[in-house]
Chains A and B, each alone.
Chain A
Amino acid sequence: MAGVSRVRRQLPTSPWLFAAPGLLVVGAFVLYPFVSTIVDSFTDRRTLIPGHFVGLANFRELVHDDMFWTGLRNSTLYIAGVVPALVVLPLLLALLVQKNIPGITFFRSAFYTPVVASIVVVGLIWVWLLDERGLVNSLLETVGIGRVGFLSDQWLLLLSAMAVTVWKGLGYYMIIYLAALAGVPRELHEAAAVDGAGTVRRFLTVTVPAVRSTMILVAALSSVAAFKTFSEVYLLAGPDGGPAGEDTTLVMLVQQTGTGLTGRVGYASALSVVVFVVTVALMLLVLRADRRERP
C-alpha cells in the first residue's frame, strides 16, 4: 500500500469512471432493491398498485399465516438435514481423492460434474430417477424392497430434495476441503501412526482438528444456502410445493406471493425481511462458533 500514494498522475475523475459501472449496477440492482424491500415490507404495495404505509400489519399477518410457519419449518428442516451431510461427506470424499493414485484427476473432475450442471437439469434428472416408475424404484423392486413414493409423500419429498442438494454440493465442498487438506502437516499423521492410531483415530485426532476452520466455513456457506432453498423443492414438489403446499420453502413463498399481476409486494417483502434476518443470524452464529473454537 505504501507505494500507492506516489501515483497521482491521473485525471481527478478517472477513478470514478473506472468504478462507475460497477457502482451503478450494484447500487441499482442490489442495494436499492434491498432498501426498497425493507421499505415495502411496511406497506400494502401490490404489483400494479403503489401501496400505503401500514406499519407492522404485514408482520402481524405473517405470525398468523400457516403457510409462513410451514415455509419457515421446511427451510429450517432443510438446514438440519443438509448441513451435517455437506460438512462431513465432502471431507470424506476429499480424503478419498487426495492421494495421487493413477487416474485420480479423472475422478476428481467427474465428482465435480453435478456442480457444473444447472439446478433445473439436476432437478429434472432426479424427478425422473425418483419417479414411481423410475430407475431407483425399479432397482428397489429388483432387489425385492418394492416401490417407494419418493415424490408423492410430503416428508419423502422434502428428504429427496435435500438429497439432491447434497448430491449437487458434494463436489464443490470437496474442492474446498482438498485445499485445506493440502495444508495439514504430514508429521502429524506420522506421529499419530507411530503412536498406534488407526485410520479412524487419525481422522478424528489429526484431520478434523486441522481442517476445523474449513468445516465451519462449509457449515456457514451451506446453512445460508440451505435456508434459501428454492429450486430443488420447486422442481421435485412442483410450483405449489407438494401435497397441500406442505413442502413450500420460505423463498418459494416469497416467489408465490410477490410475483404475477396480483402479487402482494408488501407482504412478500415482509417475508423477505425474515429471510434477511435469519441469514444474518446464521452467519453471526457460525462466526461465534468459529471464535469460540479457536484457541
Chain B
Amino acid sequence: MSTAPPVRATQEPRIADEHGRRIRVGELVLRYALLLLVLAITVGPFLWQLSTSLKGPTEDVFSSPPSFLPEHPTLHNYRRVADTIPVWDYALNSLKVAGASVVTNCVGSALAGYALARLRYRGRRVATLVFILAMLVPVEGIIIAQFTTMRELGLNNTLIGVVLPGSIGAMNVLLMRNAFLNVPYEIEEAAYVDGANAWQRFLRIALPSVRGTLAVVAIFAFMGAWDDFLWPLIVLSDPSRFTLTIGLNYLHGTFANDERLVAAGTVIAVAPLIALFACLQRYFFRGVGEGAVKG
C-alpha cells in the first residue's frame, strides 16, 4: 500500500513521466518551481527554528527584514535549555515511554493478532469485535475516565501510567491480524503435520513472515508515544517526571519570551524523529497506507 518505489527514470537520457513519455521543459520548470515553493512552506519553518536556536544572545532575532542565517552560530542556547529545565531527563523519560510502547505493542499485538487470525476457539469473533469497537472509540472522549482509572490503580503521575492506555493499540492488533491472514497457510500446515504446537508455529513460522508489518507497528508506536501530548499532559503533574513534549509546553509557558531557548528545546525534541524518519521512510509511508485503509 505504500508509494511505488520510484521507477528509475533518472537513468534514461531524457526526462520522462511514469508512462515513459517525455515531459516538456516548460512543464518541468513549472513543476520544480512549485516543488521548491512547497518545500519552503513545509520544511522552511523547521529550518527557521534551527536557525533561531543557533543565534547568539547579542544577535537580533526579530530583525526586519529577517536574517535567515545566524551570524555567529553557537550552541549556547542548548546549554541554557539544560540549565533551565532538566531537558535530558525529559528526553530520557520520553525514550523510556516510547521504548516501552514499542515493546508492548509489538509483543501484544503480534500475539493477539495471531490468535485472531490463526487459532481456532470459541469466542474468536467476539474477541475480534472487541478490538474493532476499541479502535472506533475516540481517545479524546475517554481521557477523563482513563485518568480516574489510573488514579484508582495508583498509577497517575507515573511513566507506567503514560504508557499503559496505548500499550497495545487495537488498530495494531487488527493490522497484525490482517498480516497473518495474508501469509500463505500451507507452510504452517506443514509444521502442524510435523507436530509443532501453536507457540512454535507462531514464533518460528508466522512471525518471521510478518516482519514488515511488525516494523510498521514498532515505528508508529514509537512516534505515537514520543509525540503524544494530551494524555501525558493529563496524567503527569510532577515536573520531575515530565516527558519531552510536556516539558516543552512547560518551557514555553514559563519562558515564552525567550525564543532562542524554546527553539533549542523544540530542535532537541524533533531531531530524533526526523533522523528516524530519514532512515526508515519506507515503513512510515507503508504505515500510512495500511492505517488509513483500516482506520
Say whether B46 contacts A113, CB under 8 Å.
yes
Cα of A171 to Cα of B284 in the assembled complex, Å: 11
Given contacts A7-B192, A15-B121, A25-B167, contact A276 B248 (CB under 8 A): no
Contact partners of B41 in chain A: CB under 8 A: 167
Say whether B273 contacts A116, CB under 8 Å.
yes
Say whether B38 contacts A96, CB under 8 Å.
yes
**Chain A, Cβ-Cβ closest to B228:** A118
Contact partners of B173 in chain A: CB under 8 A: 22, 26
B193 to chain A, nearest CB (A): 9
A99-139: which residues lie under 8 A (CB-CB) from chain B?
99-102, 104-105, 107-114, 116-121, 124-129, 131, 133-135, 137-139
B98-144: which residues lie under 8 A (CB-CB) from chain A?
104, 107-109, 111-112, 114-116, 118-121, 124, 127, 130-131, 133-134, 137-138, 140-144
A134-152: which residues lie under 8 A (CB-CB) from chain B?
134-135, 137-139, 141-142
**Chain B, Cβ-Cβ closest to A118:** B227
B82 is an interface residue with CB less than 8 A from chain A: no
Name the segment of B57-65, B71-79, B210-218 touching the other chain. B57-65
Residues of B in contact, count (CB < 8 Å): 113
Contact partners of A100 in chain B: CB under 8 A: 6-7, 9-10, 17-18
Given contacts A37-B141, A117-B274, A139-B66, contact A182 B10 (CB under 8 A): no
A76 is an interface residue with CB less than 8 A from chain B: no
Q: Is the interface of B mostly helix, strand, loop or mixed?
A: helix
A262 is an interface residue with CB less than 8 A from chain B: no
Cα of A29 to Cα of B147 in the assembled complex, Å: 10
Contact partners of B18 in chain A: CB under 8 A: 98-100
A281 is an interface residue with CB less than 8 A from chain B: no
Given contacts A25-B164, A30-B142, A255-B143, contact A4 B120 (CB under 8 A): yes
A29-70: which residues lie under 8 A (CB-CB) from chain B?
29-34, 36-37, 40, 47
Cα of A102 to Cα of B12 in the assembled complex, Å: 11
Contact with B along A239-277 (1 / 0, CB 8 A): 100000000000100110011000101001100110110
B133 to chain A, nearest CB (A): 7
Query: What is B's interface to A at a CB cutoff of 8 Å?
Result: 1-4, 6-7, 9-10, 15, 17-19, 23, 28, 31-32, 34-35, 38-39, 41-43, 45-46, 48-49, 52, 62-66, 104, 107-109, 111-112, 114-116, 118-121, 124, 127, 130-131, 133-134, 137-138, 140-149, 151, 164-165, 167-168, 170, 173, 185, 188-189, 192, 195, 197-199, 202, 223, 226-230, 233-234, 244-245, 248-249, 252-253, 259, 262-263, 265-266, 269-270, 273-274, 276-278, 281, 284-285, 288-289, 292, 295
Q: A120-B249, A124-B265 are in contact. List 14 more A-B contacts (CB 8 A).
A: A11-B198, A19-B116, A40-B145, A110-B39, A113-B42, A121-B248, A133-B62, A135-B66, A141-B64, A235-B252, A239-B253, A258-B144, A272-B141, A276-B138
